[in-house]
């Protein structure tokens, strides 16, 4: 693998896997990496054969933060023109369910990248953190906002204000990580879960993701209205008819995504 980001062959039916591949820098995220991730996710988001996505690094590091060498001499206009915030939003906007498979370090931009995913599976030895304050900046790709929504004000404040890293176990206990796995089995487990999701009716899966994210910052009343409308719309799908008929007939459903 020679490209900074490589979309591997599908590890399972309906599943695509994107791997960050910069081992010489612990998979630090430069602008090229971000753009390639956006490119792949845009393609996969429009691909009906792809029903879930795994994002990962290697056994040593998911992503150890932004590429400081690329950023050290930049001015505020340079940073604005890089458009990193737009790329982060584009990653988070992928309509397909995304699973981060995290081994090793997920620090700074790496932690932020993991938080753009819908599910995080972490190896028992993984380390998370937002250490930006230690080099005179703040998390700038969603870290302050996604983290506080994931773990609450007091945990998030401690993490961002001290810059200290924390274990995968701590991340799991505070609700940042969905599931822990032995280090050697993280990617395998992520692919298994992605395959499980890919085998489910795609319209319902995508509506669940869309409604949950859209309702996250809405009032409960508004969020419930979104849920109701999405539920009503799915009753016009062939998959709903097939799913309920298959349940009645005690057979496996055949999903069309229609």
Residue-wise pLDDT for 52-101, tens only, equals 999 999 999 999 987 777 777 778 887 787 777 888 888 989 999 999 99
Residue-wise pLDDT for 178-209, tens only, equals 999 999 999 999 999 999 999 999 999 999 99
Domains assigned to the chain: 5-198 (3.90.226.10), 202-249 (1.10.12)
The pTM for the full model equals 0.93
Kindly tell me if the per-residue pLDDT of 7 is higher than 70.
Answer: no
Residue-wise pLDDT for 131-157, tens only, equals 999 999 999 889 999 999 999 999 999
Burial of residue 69, with CB atoms counted within 10 A of its CB: 0-12 exposed, 13-18 middle, 19 or more buried: exposed
- CA 96 – CA 99 distance, rounded (Å): 10
Facing residues of 120 across strands? 100
């Amino acid at each position: 693998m020679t490209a900074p980001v490589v979309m591997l062959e599908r590890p399972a039916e309906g599943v695509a896997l994107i791997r960050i591949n910069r081992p010489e820098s612990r998979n630090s995220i430069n602008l090229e990496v971000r753009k390639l991730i956006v490119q792949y996710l845009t393609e996969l988001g429009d691909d009906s054969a792809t029903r879930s996505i795994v994002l990962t690094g290697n056994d040593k590091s998911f992503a150890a933060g932004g590429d400081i060498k690329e950023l050290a001499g930049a001015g505020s206009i340079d940073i604005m023109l890089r458009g990193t915030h737009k790329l982060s939003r584009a990653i988070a906007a992928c309509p397909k369910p995304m699973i981060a498979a995290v081994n090793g370090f997920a620090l700074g931009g790496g932690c932020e990248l993991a938080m753009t995913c819908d599910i995080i599976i972490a190896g028992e030895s993984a380390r998370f953190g937002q250490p930006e304050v230690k080099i005179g900046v703040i998390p700038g790709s969603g870290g302050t906002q996604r983290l506080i929504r994931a773990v609450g004000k007091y945990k998030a404040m401690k993490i961002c204000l001290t810059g200290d890293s924390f274990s995968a176990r701590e991340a799991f206990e505070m609700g940042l990580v969905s599931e822990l796995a032995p280090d050697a089995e993280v990617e395998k487990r992520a692919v298994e879960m992605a395959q499980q999701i890919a085998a489910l009716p795609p319209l319902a899966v995508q509506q669940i993701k869309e409604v949950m994210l859209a309702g996250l910052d809405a009032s409960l009343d508004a969020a419930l209205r979104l849920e109701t409308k999405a539920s009503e719309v799915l009753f016009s799908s062939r998959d709903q008819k097939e799913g309920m008929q298959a349940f009645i007939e005690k057979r496996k459903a055949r999903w069309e995504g229609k």
